[in-house]
Chain A
Amino acid sequence: MFRKILIANRGEIAVRVIKACREMGIGSVAVFSEADAAALHVRLADEAVPLGPPPAAESYLHMEKIVAAARASGAEAVHPGYGFLAENAAFARLCETEGLVFIGPSSAALELVGDKVRARQTMEKAGVPTVPGMKSCSASAEEFRAAARALGYPVMVKASAGGGGKGMRVVPDEDGLGPALEAGRREARSAFGDGSVYLEKCIEEPRHVEFQVLADNDGRTVHLFERECSIQRRHQKILEESPSPTLDPGLRREMGETAVRAMRAAGYNNAGTVEFLLDKERRFYFLEVNARLQVEHPVTELVTGVDLVRQQILIASGAPLALRQEDLAQRGHAIECRIYAEDPKTNFLPSAGRIAFLREPKGPGIRFDSGVAEGFEVPVYYDPILAKLIVWAEDREAARRRMAVALEDCVILGIRTTVGFLGDVVGHPEFRAGRVTTSFIGKHFASWGTGEGEDDRERLALAAAAFEALSPGGSAAGAAGPGRRTAAATPWTTLGRWRAGGEP
C-alpha cells in the first residue's frame, strides 16, 4: 500500500480524498493555488505544496508543477479527483513515465474512452447501443450541415474531450448550427484545451441514468448499480439519486450487464461510470464513459455501503477486487444535492465572495461533503461547487423529506447559493412522483423566485433585518443598523426586555 498520496485537486473532492487517506493510514499532500492558500483542503492535509497563480492553467492544470510537487513531497501516487487533470491521458502517461501511480484508469483506457468518437465506435463493436451521431470530428461546415440534416433536428453539439456539459449545445434548427458549433468549440477549447466537437441526434426528454463500475488491474469488473441524474440545468447535474425511480429489476440487470460489458471492451480499470440515456420507450443508449470518480459518487456509497475512494486506492495499489457482483445490493434510497455558488434569481450567475456564516446540516442519514468553511473567500477561478448534501433513508419519500429538512438546515450566507432553489426542486410534486427527465428544470423552473409564499418570506426577511438593526443582542450590536431612518419613540428601553433572547 502507498505511504503517501498527492491530491491534485481542490474543494470538496480534495477533502473527501484526504479523509479516505487518513482512514487508510496514508499520508496526504494537498496542492493549492494562491487563491486557495486558506482553503479547507490545505488545512486538512498532512502537507501542502503551493502551485502558483490562481488561473487553473498555471496551477491545478499544470502537469509539470504537480509532478514536481509529488516528487518533492515523496508521494508515490496521485489522486486527480474529478475535473482538472482527472481525465487527461497525457497527465496519466506523465505519471506513469515518472514512476507515479495515477489513481484512475491507465492512460490507454483514458485515451480510448476520453475520445468520445472512438469510444462510441468501440461500444458499437461490443454490441452496446449508442445514440446515432457523427463518426468523426474533422468535418467542414458543409459536412456538419449535411450530418445534422441526416440525423434530423434537433441535434446536439458535443465536445469530443467533453464532460460536465461543457461545450454542449442543443441545436433546434439549421439557423442555430453555426453559432452552436462556434460556442461549443470555444467552450471546449477553454475547458479541455481541445476544441473538437461532433454532432449527435438529440434524444428528446430523456432520462439520464448511469452505472458505477469498479474494475481491478486484472480485469475483474463489477457494477454498483445506477444513479438517476436527470435533474440538470445547462447539462449540469444538480441532483442525483439511487436507485432510479424509473428502472425495474429487469432493466436494471440488463443495463448493469451492458455497463460491465462496455468497460471490459474499453479495457478499463479503476472506478468509472457508464452514462446512458433512457428514452420515453425505455430504450437505453450508451452516452459516454466518465473515467473518474464522479461528483455524485456518494449516493452509490450510501446505498451499496462501498467506499469508492478506498476502492480506487486499493485497486491502484494493485490489490485484486474483493467485491463480487452477487454480493452487491442496493439498500434504501439516497439523494444528493449539489450546492453551487450561483444565484438562482439572476439565471444562475456565478457568485464569488466571502462566506460570512456557515451552518452545516447534521443528523441521522445526513452527509455533507464540503470544501468550504466560514470566512473562506470563494474564488472566481474554478467550478462554483461549494458542497454536496447527501441523505439516506429507507425509501425514496423518506429520503426526499429528509433532504427537504436538511436543505432548510443548510445555511450559507455571504454569497448567493442554490440551496433555496434545490429546496423547491425537492418539494415539487413532479419530483415527488419520480417523473424526472432532463427537461425537468426547464419545464418547471423556467423562472424562479416568485414562488408560493414569497411575499411573506420577503416581509419576514425585512422584519428580521429590522429586528437585527434594533436588537442590541444580535450580531449587529453597536451598529446603527441598516436603513434605520427614524425612530418615532426611543426603542431601546423597550428593547431591553428582549435582550436576554429568552422566551417571547
Chain B
Amino acid sequence: MSRAAFEFLLDGEIREISVDIRDGALVVHEGGRVLETGVRRVSANEIRLRFGDRSVRVFLAKDGERTWVAVDGRQYVVSEARAETGRPGEGDERTAGGSLRVKAPMPGKVTKLAVSEGENVRRNQTLVIVEAMKMENEIKTSIDGVVAKVHVAAGDLVDAEKILIEIEPKTA
C-alpha cells in the first residue's frame, strides 16, 4: 500500500485529496471524508469504478495539462492546482484591491456595451453582450459597484479571458 497526495483543480475549484492504493482499490481522503472504490482499467480511456453496489463507467482524456473526466455522463476537468492559475476557464478575477475584472468567457464579438465608466451597477446587471455561435450572451457583474474601466468597444472581437470591464466594489 502507498499513499499519494494531490492538489487538484476540479472545474476551477481547489481540491486537496490523498489516495491510498491497494490491490484494485482506491481509498480517497478529502478533509475528514473517505471514499473507497474498486478500480479496473477497461481501455486507455475508460476505467470502471465499483462504488457501493454500483459499477460506475468513467472515461478520461488528456488535453495538455488538463484531464477530462466523465462520470455517469457528467463532465469534469481536473488539473494541477498551481499550473492552472490564470488559465482559460478561470472566470472573473478579484484583484488585491478587491475590484472585479470581468472577462470574456469565450471568444466572440462585442455587440453591445450596456454601461460606461463611472456608472453605478448592481449585482447581476448586464455589462456587455458578447455574441458567439450566433447567440447573444449577457455578461453580468457578480458584485455591486462602479464601472472603473471599460476595455472594449462595441464591434470588438475578443478572445476568451480578455478583460472586458473592471468594477470597483461599493464601499458601504
Contacts and interface: CB of A to CB of B under 8 A. Distances in A.
Chain B associates with chain A: yes
27 contacts: A191-B134, A346-B105, A350-B108, A350-B135, A352-B132, A354-B63, A411-B59, A413-B59, A413-B69, A414-B68, A420-B74, A457-B76, A459-B35, A461-B76, A463-B26, A463-B28, A463-B35, A466-B17, A467-B39, A469-B67, A470-B19, A482-B66, A486-B5, A487-B4, A503-B40, A504-B24, A504-B50
A475 B6 contact: no
B70 to A, nearest CB: 5
A410 B73 contact: yes
Interface residues of A, number: 77
B73 A350 contact: no
Contacts of A352: 106-107, 132-133
Given A467-B47, A488-B3, A501-B41, A495 B21 contact: yes
Interface stretch (B78-86, B115-123, B142-150, B162-170): B78-86
B153 interface: no
A460 interface: yes
Interface in A435-467: 453-454, 456-467
A414 B61 contact: yes
A37 interface: no
Nearest to A186: B111
A345 B11 contact: yes
Nearest to A410: B73
A190 interface: yes
B106 A350 contact: yes
Given A352-B107, A460-B58, A482-B65, A408 B47 contact: no
Which secondary structure characterizes the binding site on chain B? strand
Contacts of A350: 106, 108, 132-133, 135, 137
- Sorted nearest first, the 9 A-B pairs with minimum C-beta distance are A504-B24, A501-B41, A357-B61, A489-B2, A413-B68, A465-B78, A420-B74, A413-B61, A483-B80
A226 to B, nearest CB: 27
Most chain A beta-carbon neighbours within 10 Å: one of B6, B17, B81: B6
B23 A420 contact: no
A502 B39 CA distance: 10
A497 B23 contact: yes
A480 to B, nearest CB: 9
Given A350-B135, A483-B80, A468 B60 contact: yes
Interface string A366-389: 000000000000001111100000
Nearest to B41: A501
B8 A351 contact: no
Given A349-B106, A380-B108, A468-B60, A461 B5 contact: no
Given A190-B134, A417-B75, A457-B74, 4 more contacts: A349-B137, A420-B74, A461-B71, A482-B66
Contact of B70 (A183, A190, A191, A413): A413
Contacts of A468: 47, 60, 67
Contact of B23 (A466, A489, A504): A504
Given A383-B134, A414-B61, A465 B2 contact: no
A324 interface: no
A402 interface: no
A356 B10 contact: no
Nearest to B136: A187
A414 B26 CA distance: 25
A407 interface: yes
B107 to A, nearest CB: 5
A483 B135 contact: no
B72 A408 contact: yes
A489 to B, nearest CB: 4
Contact of A460 (B45, B49, B65, B136): B49
A349 B134 contact: no
B136 A183 contact: yes
Interface in A165-203: 166, 183, 186-187, 190-191
